[in-house]
Each structure stands twice: as structure tokens, then as C-alpha cells.
Structure 1
Amino acid sequence: MESAALPAPLTSLVGRDAEVRAAGRLLAAGHRLVSLVGPAGSGKTRLAVAVAAAATTPVWFADLTTMRTGGHTDRQDPAADAAGFVLDAFGAARRPDLDAVDTLAAAAGDAPALLLLDNCEHVAVPVAALAARLLTAAPALRLLVTGRQPLGLPEETEVSVAPLDDATALRLFETRMFERTGRPLPAAHRDGAAAICRALDGLPLAVELAAARAALLSVPEVHRLLTDRFRVLADAKAPGPEHHRTLRAALDWSYELLSPDKQALLRQLAVFQGGWSPAAAAVLPAHRPGLLDALAVRCLVDRHPAGRRGRMLQTVAAYAAARLAEVPAEEAAARDAHAAHHLDLAERAAAGIRGPDQRDLLRRITLEQDNLRAAMTWLSGRPGTGAADDLRLATALAPFQHFTGVYRQGRDWLSGALARRPGAPPAVRAAACSAAATLAMLDCDYPAAAGLAERALADAPSHDTQIRGRLLTLLGSVERERADYARSARFLREAITLYRAAGDAWGEGRAAQLAGGTAWLSGDLASAAALLDASLAAFRDLADDESVASTLTHLGAVAHFGGDQPSARRHLVEALDRFTELAFPEGIGWAQDLLGRVDLADDAVPSAAERLRASLAVHRRVGDRWRSASVLEAFAEARRRLGDPAHAAALLGAADVIRREIGAPTPACELPARRRTETALRAALPEVAFDRAYRFGERTAVDELLDLSGSAGHLALARP
């Protein structure tokens, strides 16, 4: 039998050199069955043709797309069924003295040859049976097979055909655009093209279809239209089977090969965003043991190398979501199960966040951010003013939004849920108001924080020490930042008494820590040190890393303002290390702020300026305007000492704008330094120059103001 011609490639092969060499080496080294396995649209056929074209022996090519099980010689013999289809594809005559498999083996002869069987996923069983017999009957024959799952034979060597990496996918896009238009991709459109490639997971079929569309429309227009990727990414005029011409057909082909139970699980996995843990997948109504592995074998889901987490390509997820939307009752059940699992996760994590598992819980919640956001969206749409799951989820996530510095998101979630659920149980509403008040205080919205805390105190059960203590410490914090130190201390002393009576060591330690903060900010360093030493001992016993780091930061401030810079630096460096390991932005910014002040006290002015600039960037990112104002004042002193008094005066103007906006004056312990800085600046600049620079700082965005350092800034601000 003469070799069957390979399909003639219409375009160049881009980005598959390593796979071509790997498969070729395997075949040349004596591996007689090599399977190219990958997801829909990954370019297995094009890759296999390139491998076969490089072969030095005759090649037979058979596309099995149209093969149907039981359609040929012997329905009881799957190997003969597949052999019959291959013989028909080659137009080879049957031998009456041999069955179809032996006829094919005889046709192969004794000379080395390569048989390429393309698109085998829908007929994997008969193709596996055929391959097993051919490997025995035709010793010189080698087999190259493509499919979305391996054949499962012991002799098989699998080569994974994964999506392209970002750089290679963009190169493929650019190449296809050039082949279509004769022009290179405009530099202004490279970022858009790269975003398209990422959204399409680097799947060659999808990237090529997108490039074809972009040649007709434009890169920005295709990027915009990707919300309906299955309608946009189709090329009805392209040669070959339909599942090589449209993205939807490629995935339909894979989906229709699944049994109903696997189809259901694939659909329901679409409710996950950013992947899933085994425990999360197990709550889906369609989950059964072994089904996830079956989908992974078929390249429809990815598995974490250690088996801990799964995910779908974005394109597969979009397809599964569209299929799930066709079955509304099933979608509701899957989303209910997903939301319930993540609500339980969030509440358990919130309960354990102040203990030895703190770091693991922070990593877990960070990993599940997209799923938690999806759960919040689903629960928010639930009817009924008395439903409380969205309120519970928003409350549970508030501590993590504090850790990650996304105060505004947390406030929005809580305020929305409180408005939607006026009939929620009083204890649930009290906890939500407490969480909302905490985030409002961190966001420097003191009237809102105080109002929410007072409302929550009215709703909180009298026996709920945890909520009442939290609200009292919150009110103490609000008054501390407003510089009403006496009122702050009264709230915090009441909280300490309440927690101590209840035997709540963590609550007492937290209230003592905050009371220590109030004391040093007011200038009472001795009282602050005693409160903070007790707080530190409690938190070390409780293995609460964040609270240990925060207490060390307070102790660093006490040492700094007391003139003991070596002790201050020791405490603050340890705190910064802990905050950095926890990835806690608020703490990192705060420790850098105080270390900058220690550097100023040690006359290490360039280092101080660098630390203060970094601190300001963090505080501005998380929205902490109270600390931003303090850092601007310290940074003004650094700029003054670096010989830029006009810029320093402008920084003071910017700080005062923030303080007026939030209603919080300069803390008592920082006020002497602030006054010394302003006095020195007025001595260094003519009155009109100081006033001009100060007013410039009041009306200029802080980001722009920070760029005006050095002599250029000095000249710009001091010019008459």
C-alpha cells in the first residue's frame, strides 16, 4: 500500500518546535506508539502533521473525525472496526483470507513506516484495540496518534500539547495578522493583542480565529467582543472539519463525547472562579468519585501537580457556563452549593484568624478571593429582606479586607447587605454593623464609624461580650484618631474590664494594645509601655503574629518618642519582618513610617526619605488618610533637611488638607516635631514664598506633589 499524503499546511507552524522535536526523538528512539494529547483547539493535528512530515519513512495519514463506532466490518471486534475505517480511508482493498486488522498489518509490510491516526478522542476504545494488535502484528510500524485523552495502553508514550505561553501566543497572533493583512501589528495594539491571547488561554485555534477577526475589524474591537467569544471566533470558510473551524464546535465535540454525569459536572464546575479545592468541588450536586479525574484525562480540566487544586481554561469555563445557563434549576443548585461552601470557609477562617493558623488562613482566603466574590454576587441576588447569608459572608470577610487593605470593597459589601436585609436577626446585623464600623474607621470616615458602632451596640445582645467589647475598642480607636484621648481611654478601659470579666485573653490584649496606642499618642509614654508589655505577652502566648507585630510597632513608637532609638529600631525591624511575611500592607506602611522617623532622629536623612515615601505609597493605596497626613509631615522634615524647603512647605499644605477632610488634628506626640518643621521652614523661606508653596500643596494632588522633589521642584515652587 502506498503512503497516504499528509494534509498540506496552509500556514506556518508557530511556537511548537520543542514539541515537534520531542515527538520526533521519541519515534526515532524506538517508542512505537506516541500520543499527542491536549485540549480542544491546542493544535494537535497541525503539530502531528509537522512531526510526520519530518519522518524519514513512508507515512500513512488517516483522519478519524467521521468514524463512528460499529460502522465497519465487525461490530463485535472494535479493532477490526477501526481497521476497516482506516482501510476505507486509504482506498485499500480487503483481503478475504484476513480480517481487517491483519489486512492493514500486511499492507504495512516489513519496512519501517509511520501511521498517523488523527482525531481519535471519540473512538478511543477501538483505536486502542487496533493499536495494540498492530504493534504486535507489524513490528516495523510506528503509530502517531492525536486526541484529547490518551489511549491507555502500556506501550503508549504521551506528549502533552499544552496551550501556548503568553509570548508565543502573541507571536502566533502577530504572524497570522501579518499573513492576512501584509502589515505588522501596530505597536499601539500589542497590549490589546496580548490581552486577547491571555483571555483565550493561548489556545492556538482561538488565537488564530481572533487574529482573523482582528484583520477584518480591529484588535480593540475583537478584545471588546470577547464577552461573546463563541460567536466572534468562528471561520466558516476555513478548510477541515467543523471542530477545527469554530471555537464553539471544538468544545461541542469534546462535550458531546462525555457521558451525562461528566457533562453535568463540567457544567457545574463553571461556578468556580480561579479554581477549586477538592473539598469545594465535592459539594457540587453532580460530583461523584472519579468524575474529576475523568475530565482531567480528557483535557477539560487541569489538575494541580500535587492534586490539591483544579482549574479550567477560561475558554472551557465560558463554554461550561453557557451550558449551565441552559439548565436554570441546575445552575441555582450548583451556585447555592458553591456559595454555602465558601460562606462556611469564610466564617471558619474568621473565627481562627487570631491564632496560630493565621498565616495559613490568610493564604487560603487570598487564594479563594475570586470564589468568595462570586459567592457574594450570588447571595446578594437572593430574594427576601430577612435572608442573611450575604450579610454573614460580608461580615466574615471584613477582617481579611482589613489585612489586605481593601477597606472600600468591604464597606460596599456590608452597606449593601445591611440595606438589603433589614429583617436579618439582630445578632447578625450587630456583627455586620461592627465590621462595617471597623472598616469605616480604617477608611478614616469617623462619623460613619461612630454611628455604626453606636447602632450596633444598641442591637448587640447584652451577654455578647465579643461584639460589645469589639465595639467599645472601635469607639476608642475613633476617638484616638480624632485626638480626644480622654474619651478614647474611657472606652478602652471599659473594654478591658469587660474582656477580663469574660476571661477573653485575646480581647483583653487587643484592648490593652489600643489603650497603649492612645497613651503614647497623647504623650503618656510610661502608661503606654505598661499596657503594651502586657499586650505583647498575651499575643505571644496566643501565637497571633499580626497582633504581636502591631504591639511591637506601638512599642517602637514609645521608644522613639522617648528618645531610645536603638530599642525603637529593634522593635520596628522585627515588626516589619512579621508584617512582610503576612503581606499585611497597613502594618508594612506603619512600620516604615516609624522607621523613617527613627532614621530622621539618627540623621540618616536619605534613608528616612526613602522609607517615608514607601510608607506613604502603602497608606494611600489602602486609603489610610490619617497616617498619610502624619507621613507627609515627617516627609516634609526630610525634604527640609535635604535642602528643599519649598517642597517641604507644600507637603505640609497637603497634610493639612487631609486633616481638615477627616477631622483629625496632628497627634499630640507628633505636634512638637510638626511645629519645629514649620518654624524652620518659615525661617528658611520668605513669608510670601512659604505661603505660595503651602497653598500649592493644598491644591495639588499628592502624587504630583511627590514628583516635585529636588532642585526642579524647589525652583518651581519658590519662583515669584
Structure 2
Amino acid sequence: MVAPTPTVSPRERDVLAAIARGASNAEIARALVLSVRTVESHVSALLRKLGAADRHQLASMAAGLVDDVSRSPGGIRGVPAARTSFIGRDEEIASVRRLVTASRITTIVAPGGAGKTRLAAAVAGEVADAFPSGGGFVDLVPATPGSVAESVASALGVAQQPGQSLEATIAARLRGRSLLVLDNCEHVAESVAGLVSRLAEWLPELSILITSRERLAIPEETVIYLGPLRSVEDAVALFTERARSGGADLDPADQPRIAGICERVGRSPLAIELAAARFASLGFNGLEVALDDQLRALAGSRALSQRHRSMRAVVAWSYGLLARDERDVLARISLFSTTFDLPSAASVAGADVAVVADILGRLVDKSLVQRVAPGNGPARWTILEVVRQYAREQLDESADHESTVTAYVRWAGTIMGRLLGRITEPTWQDDLDAVIDDIRQAIDVQPGAAERYGLSVDAARLVSMRGFTDEAVERFRAAADIAPDAGAEFAALIQAAAAEHLVAGAGAQFQALIRLADRMGTHSSNRDAAGALAVIVATRFRGSNFDPPVDYDELAALIGTTRVGAGTEDADPAQTPPDTVHAYRAVARAWMSGSRPQEVELEAASMAVDAAQAFGDPALTSAALDALCTAHAVRGEPASSFDVCRRRLDLVSRMDATLPQTAVEVVDAYRAASTYAVAVGEIAAAVDTARRAAADPNVTAHPYAADGMLVTALALAGEHAETQRLGEILWSRIEAAGRPRHAPLAVPLLAAALAAGLSDDDAGMRRWRARAATMTADGVLANSPNLAPWEAFVRGRVALHSGTDLEEALAAASVDFTSGRFDGYAAAVAAELAMRLSEAEADELVERAAGYTTHNRWAAASRERALAQRAGDTAALTEVAECWARIGAEFERSATLELAREV
């Protein structure tokens, strides 16, 4: 007995193809827009399913399971598999294939039932090799005008990137020679036309194939009209094959009667299939009489074309021949806009699973329902679109309509609850994509506002986690519009504002919060308006680069107004019951406690932490701890700031990962922890933090955050090859985004320069330094207060390693830099350079470095190495090497031991 082929999900298939190409987990995560942890889960599942001993064996097994592993992830994703042979369309396939490879935009236009989808799928399968960058096949039947981009992103397996529109993320995935197939576009034609026009403008190598009942009428569109089957011979062949598959016994002498039936239904492929499915039970006489009756009943309708009347007549006839239980189930499941599984069908049909399974089998036999999951995968079904439309009309006119809609909405709520509980599982995203269109539809058909609020919030949380951030903004806003009370409205709008931060930065969140405060101020109670104003203040003082700038006095006036209705602003937090407004206000007051932004007073920050902890919101507590971290930094206590950052990271697992506010907070928590780990010379902690960040989907969704942290930490740890490899990935993402002038990105790029220089790659070092310079406003690293000491350190450390350009490096590193993350590094390398050169100022520079040794373990070890080297003390150098080992700087440990051997 041959063992069944293991079931590999589409996402696992993408991962398997990437493994076969030699990609690392981090590279796969970036390509597929997943977290590293999720990729690891997929790899583990594949090892188990395929029985592979290791990753190497997994890669060798991929060839038999993935069509072309040389393509980008997934090839042309989502092309529907052919269930039966495709008869009578050879000329059309050749024509469309030729147009797709030569034209930018090709549209197949035809009425329902003509076989547009089958033709598009056949062509996509045949031309895949001509599109090495892959692409996707998108069924837009369930899409609405507002969800076309989301449907495309789901089909491509991508998610919106922070600071980018979803369309821009889609464009990034389709860069290169790609094919995008948009199927069934007529009901969303305007939205599709806009998306297609923009993608065609941005992507000169992209080809787009469209199927629709009408042309889009956009530039560069080539239209091919798909009529009925060209010949009666093709029609007879189709009928014969389908009837025989249903158990009919046909004789060649029957062909004239078969031809008559095919002509009667306009040679429409779908109508022929429906008629053939009934032939075994009705025979020629029954089939001819039934079709005569149906066609005559619709012959007088002038609102429909002859072909449309024929198609509708066949569907109505086929529907009417169903048993009562078959009609009932088909009408009820017609609510599903896309595929569905058996439990879902049973839930909406209001019947036992076993009963519905039997009925679905009968409907499949009658060609009214299709089973779409191949092999031994989880079974899913779909209804042919023209059949769905007819069955939905029957449901809308029946007494079962209201109860069925209620069951459908209840199903959607249950599914969302389950998915929200599964967001750590590797397959949750694929499972959401399978039902998201029905979730959207269920929210729209639900009449009760109170019920819709909960559904809308849950849907917003899911699409936010899925990476459809623009949609999350709109869904949180929609939930606020139907909120049952002011508190619920406030909660939804706070999340909408946080989602705007994910899309366009803190400035966008700030403006959204200003609007929120105005809106909440219209309520009879001002408590939520006070809370909104407090969040505004905290957002402004924690963020930067606001456009337009916000005046300090204006913010002071805003925080004053938050006293309205609060009543607890001066109370002792320990004596105050947990309260939303009090907690938000305490955090805001902490951020405004100094004379200037970012000058937080320690006492105010401590009170904010107490208030937030009493309230019990881990995200708000994290914001309060951020204020405390800043307060310690202002006091020159970076080690205390680092300890506070670790407290923030402990809160990450307690935050609700499905909320945009959590995503904002988590990214900042990792950023701060990594920053202060480097600032105090805790390199092992910096690497650990960066690796944790790289496994968190909230961080990996950001195009640079995880990369930047890890590149910087690994450079200092001495993992130079990995630093440059990840640096190249980071640089490719920067280039894909148009090389934005964002000075913080120069930090990891300079770290890559350090790795190159310490690997004796002078050309590589120059290249990385030049790249870093392009991130600054004027292209000069030395003009940036934050970057100047870091660049000086990089130059100085490489000079010590190579023994060249020591004087120039010393001159650059011995400057009195602005206090920050890297001035201690510059001071330490300056001391070592001066000692190496036996400069007169060496003692002075060693003394300056001593000022950093209490709070920067790198500076402490570097200074001790300089002193031990000057003294020629082998034992001291060996002891210093152990200091480097303890902080996780392996290259420095080895370099110090080498110095000890030379003494």
C-alpha cells in the first residue's frame, strides 16, 4: 500500500520552497512577512510531516513537492486546480497566453458560466515559467469595493508594512517579472481599475490578467471576449464526458440529440455541465421536456440577454429538481461568500454535521457545489457563483432568511473568537484568510448595533494582526460609531489612533488623538475626553519628528484641561481606586514634569508607574516605565534605565497582542531595551533582546526595527559575517523603500562597517560608511550629535585592529561628544589609541574614559585593556579577556588574548 502524500499547506509550501533555495529562517520571515518564530514552527511541522531528519534532507525532498523552487516564494500562488478536463477552449487558451506574455493588462470578458475562471487558471498554469518573480491568482467574488487590496494581499501572502500603504506592500511583492490574475471583477470594477492602474504605473514588468463581465476601460487594457463554445462538436464532447462521469450510458448515435440540448442552452459550458449532471436520472426525454419548460418560462423577459436567460433557466431548472433538504441547505449556505468547511456549513444550515455532509455530497454530484481541497487535505467547498446568486435569491424570499442570517453572524463571531485565541499558531493566518471575506460580510448584514460593535472590534483586532492596518483603522472607527457607551467609543478610537501610528508614525497618531479629544468632549461626561487629552500629551512627548510641530505651551494647556471631570489628579495613587483617566493622566503628567520635552522628573515617573500598575493595564504600565527610563537617563543613570527597560520587556507577554496599541508599545519596548543594553555595554543582553525582537511579529512587521537592533548587537558581539549578511538584507529593504533619509538607520550600517573593517575588508568598510552617510540630512556623519561618536568609535576600533591611520582615528575619537549612547565607546577607543601611540594626552584620555566605567561595561573593559597593555601585564590582559567574555564580546576577548600572547 502506497503511503498518502503528506498535506502541505500553502504557507508551508512557501517555506519549503525557500528552504530548498537555501534561505535562512530570518530570510524566509522577511520574504513572507512572518515572524522568525512562526517560520520555525512551520519548519518543525514540515520536518514532522515529511519525516525529514534535518533541514538538509528537507531541502532535498522539496523538489517533489514544490513545482519550481527557483522562483520567489510560492510562484503564482492560488491558481485553482482543475477538477475536470478543459474541453473546447484551445484557441482561447493560445490567444490569452499570447496576450498575457506580450501585454500589460489583459481582460477576459464574458457572462457568467462561460468559463472565464477556468480559462484564466489554465493560462496561468501554462505561462508560470515566463514569470520568474511569481505572482498570485485572486478570486474577487467575495470582495467589496473597500477590500480589493486586502483580497490581493491575502492571495499573495503579504501584510501591510508600517509606514507603507497596503498597495505599496503589494507592489513590493510583485516587483520583477510577475503575473497577477484578478478573477471575477465586475462587482468591484472601479476599485480594481484604480488598483490595476497604480500597479501598472509602478511596476513596468508586471502583467495583469483580469476576468470580468465587463471591461475596465483603463489605459493599456487589451480585451478578449469569450463566447460560447466555438463548435457544437466541442459542446457535445463536454456533455458526453460529464454525463459519463455521472454514470450515464451514451451511444455515438445519441450525438444529434446531445447537440440539440447543447444548442438549447446556448453552448454555455456551465449550463451544459448542469444538464449533463441530470442526464443519468432523467434521460433524453425528461431532460428535453424540463429544459423546454424552463426556457419558455423566461423567453419573454427583455431585461436579460438570450444567453443570460438560458443560463438562469438552467440554474432554476436544476435547483427545482433538488430534494427539499437539498434546496434548504443550498439556500442557507449561499450566504458564504467564499469557501467553507463542513462544520461551518452545518452551523449556518442549522443541521447535524453528518446530515450536511451527505447533502453536500449530493450537491457536488449535481455540479452545483464544488469540493476545492485536493487530496487528503481539510475539505472545503464552494458554490458556483451563478448558482450562489440564484440560491441567495431563494433564501432572501424565504421565511428562513432571518434565522439563517442570525446563524451566519453567530458563526462569524465564534470563528473570530477561535482565531483570536490561535494567533501564536503557525497556521492561524492561513485560516483567517480562508474566512475573512465572510467575516466582513457578516458584520455588514448584522442589524443590531450592540452586536456589531463586538464583531467590529474583533474583526479590527484580527485584520490588525494580519497586517491589514488601514482596514484596522477603519474598522475601529466603525466600531466607535456604533459603540454602546462613551467608554467603548473611547477604547475603539484609542486603538484606531494607535493603528494610524503603525501606518504613518507618531505624528499621525497625535493628530488622530486630537480629533478623538474633540469628539469625546461632546459627551455629557468629560472623563473620557480627559483621558484622551492625557494620551495626546504622552504621545507627543514620547514621539519626535511631528509635522506640524506642537507647541509646548499648547500641550501644557491641554494637560490642564484633563483635570475636568477627573477629580483625582492630586490624590495618592496608593489610596486611589484603579481608574482609566487617573492612570492616563499620571503618565501624561510624568512626561510633562520637566522644563523641556524628555526631561522627566523621577518622582513624577514613579507615581505614573504606581498609577498604571494599580489600573492593571500592562501596555499603559509600559508607557509609564518608559517615562521612568527617561527620568533615569536624564539623571545620568543609564544602568538604571537599562533595568527599567528589562521590566518593560517582562510586560510584553502580558499585553494583548491583537491590539495596535500593543504593537506600538512592544516595538518601543524592544527598541529601548536594545538601545540601553548597547549604551551600558551589555552586549550579550543586546543580542538576546534583538533576537527576541526578531521573533516578535509586532517588531518584524516593521521594515527596519528588528534588523537594525540585531545588526548593531552582532557587530559588537563579534559575529562579523552574520552582521554583514543581515546588513545586506537591511540595505535591500532600505533601497526598496527608496532610501529614506532616516538617521537612526545609519547606526546598524556603521555597525556593518565595523564588521567589515575587523574582517580586513577595507572596501567593504568604505561601502558601508558611504551607505550610512546617505541616511543623514546632509550626508555628513560627523555633523550628527548621535552618529559622530559612533562613527569615531568604528574608525578607531578598526584602526587599532589594522594598525593604520591611528593618528587620524585618535583625532576623530578624542572630541568632546554630546552625551548619549556612543560617547562612552568613543572615549574608550580614544584612550586605547592614545596608549598605542604613546601620546602625551593618553593619561587625560584614560581619565576621561574612567568617567564611563561605572555604567558602561564595554568602556570599562576597553580602558582596562589599555592600561594592561601599557604596563605589559599579561595576567591583567587575561583578566580583561574574561571581562569581554562576560559581556558577550567574543571578538574582543580573542583580540585581548592575542595581545596577552604578544606581551
TM-score normalised by length of structure 1: 0.51
Cα offsets for 1:439-473 (capped at 9, x unmatched): 122221133243255458758999999x9999967
Give the match's secondary structure for 1:367: helix
The answer to whether residue 412 in structure 2 is matched with residue 412 in structure 1 is no
The answer to whether residue 744 in structure 2 is matched with residue 630 in structure 1 is yes
Q: CA deviation at 1:633?
A: 5.9
Give the match's secondary structure for 1:284: helix
Match of 1:186 in 2: 98
Report the CA distance shift for 1:622/1:544 in structure 2 as closer, same or farther (over 3 A): farther
Mapped to 2, the partners of 1:424 and 1:416 lie a distance apart of 12
The answer to whether residue 358 in structure 2 is matched with residue 446 in structure 1 is no
Tell me which of 384, 391, 400 is aligned to 1:316.
384
Mapped to 2, the partners of 1:655 and 1:282 lie a distance apart of 64
Match of 1:559 in 2: 677
Cα offsets for 1:102-135 (capped at 9, x unmatched): xxxxxxxxxxxxxxxxxxxxxxxxxxxxxxxxxx
Q: CA deviation at 1:595?
A: 0.8
Report the CA distance shift for 1:542/1:381 in structure 2 as closer, same or farther (over 3 A): closer
Match of 1:101 in 2: none
Match of 1:297 in 2: 361
Match of 2:713 in 1: 598
The answer to whether residue 323 in structure 2 is matched with residue 259 in structure 1 is yes
1:137-176 maps to which residues of 2 (within 5 A)?
none
Mapped to 2, the partners of 1:374 and 1:259 lie a distance apart of 27
Mapped to 1, the partners of 2:540 and 2:739 lie a distance apart of 13
Mapped to 2, the partners of 1:180 and 1:655 lie a distance apart of 56
**Residue identity matched to 1:408:** D
| Alpha-carbon contact 2:542-2:598 (below 8 Å) kept | yes
Report the CA distance shift for 1:645/1:513 in structure 2 as closer, same or farther (over 3 A): same
| Alpha-carbon contact 2:107-2:212 (below 8 Å) kept | no
| Alpha-carbon contact 1:599-1:608 (below 8 Å) kept | yes
**Residue identity matched to 1:593:** G
Mapped to 2, the partners of 1:186 and 1:473 lie a distance apart of 58
Match of 2:396 in 1: 328
1:4-43 maps to which residues of 2 (within 5 A)?
none
Match of 1:338 in 2: 408
1:92-491 maps to which residues of 2 (within 5 A)?
185-186=97-98, 188-189=100-101, 206-207=118-119, 224-227=210-213, 234-235=228-229, 237=232, 238-239=235-236, 240=239, 241=258, 242=261, 246-251=269-274, 253=277, 256=319, 258-273=322-337, 275-276=339-340, 279-285=343-349, 287-298=351-362, 299=364, 300-302=369-371, 310-313=379-382, 316-317=384-385, 319-329=387-397, 334-343=404-413, 345-346=415-416, 358-360=423-425, 363-364=427-428, 367-369=431-433, 371-377=435-441, 379-380=443-444, 387=449, 389-415=451-477, 418=480, 421=481, 425-443=485-503, 444=505, 445-452=508-515, 454=517, 476-482=538-544, 484-486=597-599
Give the match's secondary structure for 1:485: coil
1:673-692 maps to which residues of 2 (within 5 A)?
673=790
Mapped to 1, the partners of 2:473 and 2:644 lie a distance apart of 31
Match of 2:638 in 1: 525
Q: CA deviation at 1:411?
A: 1.6
Q: CA deviation at 1:649?
A: 3.6
**Residue identity matched to 2:380:** R
Cα offsets for 1:416-440 (capped at 9, x unmatched): 555xx37853233212111111112
**Residue identity matched to 2:273:** A
Mapped to 2, the partners of 1:266 and 1:329 lie a distance apart of 14
**Residue identity matched to 2:767:** G
The answer to whether residue 634 in structure 2 is matched with residue 570 in structure 1 is no
Report the CA distance shift for 1:555/1:183 in structure 2 as closer, same or farther (over 3 A): closer
Give the match's secondary structure for 2:335: coil
Mapped to 2, the partners of 1:271 and 1:678 lie a distance apart of 66
Give the match's secondary structure for 1:271: coil
TM-score normalised by length of structure 2: 0.42
Mapped to 2, the partners of 1:394 and 1:471 lie a distance apart of 25
Give the match's secondary structure for 1:651: coil
Cα offsets for 1:371-407 (capped at 9, x unmatched): 3344335534778xx9355554443344444434332
The answer to whether residue 775 in structure 2 is matched with residue 651 in structure 1 is yes
Mapped to 1, the partners of 2:325 and 2:751 lie a distance apart of 68
Q: CA deviation at 1:592?
A: 1.9
| Alpha-carbon contact 2:714-2:722 (below 8 Å) kept | yes
- Give me the identity figure in percent: 14
Deviates more, 1:599-608 or 1:613-622: 613-622
Mapped to 2, the partners of 1:209 and 1:234 lie a distance apart of 18
Mapped to 2, the partners of 1:208 and 1:651 lie a distance apart of 45
Unmatched tracts of structure 1, length 5 or more = 1-164, 212-218, 657-665, 685-720
Mapped to 2, the partners of 1:518 and 1:453 lie a distance apart of 27
Give the match's secondary structure for 2:701: helix
Unmatched tracts of structure 2, length 5 or more = 1-77, 124-180, 185-208, 216-224, 240-257, 279-317, 546-596, 754-763, 799-807, 810-903
Q: CA deviation at 1:559?
A: 1.2
Give the match's secondary structure for 2:767: coil
For the aligned residues, what is the CA RMSD? 6.0
Mapped to 2, the partners of 1:490 and 1:402 lie a distance apart of 36
Q: CA deviation at 1:247?
A: 1.0
Report the CA distance shift for 1:414/1:286 in structure 2 as closer, same or farther (over 3 A): same
Mapped to 2, the partners of 1:442 and 1:507 lie a distance apart of 16
Q: CA deviation at 1:293?
A: 0.7
Report the CA distance shift for 1:166/1:282 in structure 2 as closer, same or farther (over 3 A): closer
| Alpha-carbon contact 1:477-1:514 (below 8 Å) kept | no
Deviates more, 1:439-448 or 1:259-268: 259-268
| Alpha-carbon contact 1:403-1:586 (below 8 Å) kept | no
Report the CA distance shift for 1:404/1:526 in structure 2 as closer, same or farther (over 3 A): farther
**Residue identity matched to 1:440:** E
| Alpha-carbon contact 2:752-2:765 (below 8 Å) kept | yes
| Alpha-carbon contact 2:700-2:706 (below 8 Å) kept | no
Mapped to 2, the partners of 1:167 and 1:285 lie a distance apart of 26
| Alpha-carbon contact 2:456-2:479 (below 8 Å) kept | yes
Mapped to 1, the partners of 2:736 and 2:459 lie a distance apart of 19
Report the CA distance shift for 1:396/1:498 in structure 2 as closer, same or farther (over 3 A): farther
Give the match's secondary structure for 2:449: coil
Cα offsets for 1:585-641 (capped at 9, x unmatched): 336852221011224445767744543554577799999999x66325643775793
Q: CA deviation at 1:531?
A: 2.3
Match of 2:565 in 1: none
Mapped to 2, the partners of 1:454 and 1:447 lie a distance apart of 11
The count of corresponding residues between Structure 1 and Structure 2 is: 481
**Residue identity matched to 1:530:** D
